[in-house]
Amino acid sequence: MRSHVPSRIAVVGTGYVGLGTAGLLAHLGYRVTGIDIDPDKIAQLQRGVVPIHEPGLDLLLASQEDRITWTTDYQAVAEADVIFICVGTPPGPDGTPDLRYVTGAARSIAAYLGDRPQVIVNKSTVPIGTGDFLQRLLEDHAPQFDETRHRVASNPEFLREGTALADSLYPDRIVLGGHPEAVEVLARLYGPLIEQSFTAPQGIGRPDSYSRPAVVRTTLQSAEMIKYAANAFLALKISFANEIAGLCERVGADIQEVTTGIGLDGRIGHRFLQAGLGWGGSCFGKDTQGLISAGREHAYPMPILQAAIDVNYRQRNVVVEKLLRHLKSLKGKRIAVLGMAFKPNTDDLRDAPAHDLIARLHQLGATVLAHDPVAMPRAEREWSHLTYTAAPDPATALRRADAAIIATEWEEYALLNWRDLVGTMRQPLVVDARNMLRETLPAQVEQIGRESVQVQKEAVLV
């Protein structure tokens, strides 16, 4: 394989990663074909309808519609210089990542590999060693496979839902793993991104302090491990903050003052030290469990990572315990849950803490009213097994409620007129599980890692 400048790209999978990748590469000037086996999703995209909620993504894709084609036909692989695999890897019952979608995509790609240089790039989060597995899979199923022409590479994504486009356009680092020739092809592909020579898209301006990303060239195995280790470490930071928060409540300390103080240490930093309801979504839990599963395969226990998971899911019980402490029993009580998505600025419900809260509240006999600015239509489809009433707005959810839980830190909730709204509740009890309320209210306010009764002031940096 000679290093060449790629021009045509195929992206397999049209979820958060696939759509973001397609939009990014089209904006950099490449011809992109998005492939998905779901005809309904492809039909939506062909009509210009984006099937997920990600701020700015619809505008970016619309601006590049002349460069992007959507199809269910893998034939597009034959003309592609680089093929990105961006499919899901959900956890199995024992925490081991399920590779059925990756395997299926690889087999479909194999049938159309041609007699020209092509790089097959895994952007899906996969167990260490999957790149080698895919290389063997292509050898077995591609009629024209040639290891000098067809290389598998790893290029993990580090996107945060809600800020995925900015994370894609202005990344901290770009990790490229694989054979040096394949890595060089990807480095050329990402040239405009590395050099930041592209024009920033409307609404996603380049930060003033941003210069260019670091580029990490490494092996397949190291690239795969970097992705897992990064997410596991971030999950560990959040769980650490939550564990410290529990002790803060018991000794009279304030977690926000504590994390402000320790975060000023440059070795620690403030990011991902926010105490609250814990993490959710499709990455942290799955990737942390994936590392634990990999350790199990090699008879190598990973107790620190297991503790991070245990602490995280304990936080969901902490919120219910706070309700019980004040209400004594939840039978017949009306509880408002504000926020259903696992984080703001997305409609993603995977492993959302609100799911477990709603289930537990119903189990304890409560009537639940739930609201979310964008995720309620998706919840109607994906959470049909839960018992709750969808509230059209926060005010409706709070009216005559015995308690309210802020489960997702949507800005919309911070801007509510809480002083008036708590007056409409049967009992003015608010469990602010995201520590986002700043004003003193005529209500009993419980936060995480802080004294109850009133919302205190944040630590002030002098």
Mean pLDDT for the chain overall: 93
Domains of the chain: 8-218 (3.40.50.720), 233-447 (3.40.50.720)
- Give the dihedral of Cα atoms 80, 86, 92, 96; nearest 10 deg: 80
Q: What is the pLDDT of residue 444?
A: 95
Range in 91-100, 155-164, 179-188, 439-448 with the lowest mean pLDDT: 91-100
Does the pLDDT of residue 460 top 50, yes or no?
Answer: no
Q: Are 401 and 430 in contact (CB under 8 A)?
A: no
Does the pLDDT of residue 5 top 90, yes or no?
Answer: no
pLDDT band at residue 438 under the 50/70/90 scheme = confident
Per-residue pLDDT of 207-225, as tens digits, reads: 999 999 999 999 999 999 9
Average pLDDT of span 302-313:
96
- Give the dihedral of Cα atoms 276, 281, 284, 289; nearest 10 deg: 120
Backbone angles phi and psi of 389, in degrees to 5: -110, 130
CA distance 83 to 280: 30
pLDDT band at residue 453 under the 50/70/90 scheme = low
Per-residue pLDDT of 376-402, as tens digits, reads: 999 999 999 999 999 999 999 999 999
Per-residue pLDDT of 349-364, as tens digits, reads: 999 999 999 999 999 9
Does the pLDDT of residue 237 top 50, yes or no?
Answer: yes
Q: What is the pLDDT of residue 455?
A: 44
Q: What is the pLDDT of residue 39?
A: 96
Does the pLDDT of residue 95 top 80, yes or no?
Answer: no
Does the pLDDT of residue 456 top 50, yes or no?
Answer: no
CA distance 445 to 209: 38
Average pLDDT of span 110-132:
90
The identity of residue 446, as a single letter, is E
pTM: 0.89
pLDDT band at residue 371 under the 50/70/90 scheme = very high
User: Residue 389 forms beta bridges with which residues?
Assistant: 369
- Provide the annotated active-site residues: 283
Contacts of 432 (CB under 8 A, 6+ apart): 406, 445, 446, 447, 448, 455
Average pLDDT of span 82-102:
87
Backbone angles phi and psi of 144, in degrees to 5: -110, 25
Q: What is the pLDDT of residue 96?
A: 78
pLDDT band at residue 3 under the 50/70/90 scheme = low
pLDDT band at residue 6 under the 50/70/90 scheme = confident
Q: What is the pLDDT of residue 281?
A: 87
Per-residue pLDDT of 157-194, as tens digits, reads: 998 888 999 999 999 999 999 999 999 999 999 999 99
- Can you give the three-state secondary structure of the chain, one letter per residue? CCCCCCCEEEEECCCHHHHHHHHHHHHCCCEEEEECCCHHHHHHHHCCCCCCCCCCHHHHHHHCCCCEEEECCHHHHHHCCEEEECCCCCECCCCCECCHHHHHHHHHHHCCCCCCCEEEEECCCCCCCHHHHHHHHHHHHCCCCCCCCEEEEECCCCCCCCCHHHHHHCCCEEEEEECHHHHHHHHHHCHHHHHCCCCCCCCCCCCCCCCCCEEEEECHHHHHHHHHHHHHHHHHHHHHHHHHHHHHHHHCCCHHHHHHHHHCCCCCCCCCCCCCCCCCCCCHHHHHHHHHHHHHHCCCCCHHHHHHHHHHHHHHHHHHHHHHHHHCCCCCCEEEEECCCCCCCCCCCCCCHHHHHHHHHHHCCCEEEEECCCCHHHHHHHCCCCCCEECCCHHHHHCCCCEEEECCCCHHHHCCCHHHHHHHCCCCEEEECCCCCCCCCCCEEEECCCCCCCCCCCCCCC
Does the pLDDT of residue 102 top 60, yes or no?
Answer: yes
pLDDT band at residue 114 under the 50/70/90 scheme = confident
pLDDT band at residue 4 under the 50/70/90 scheme = low
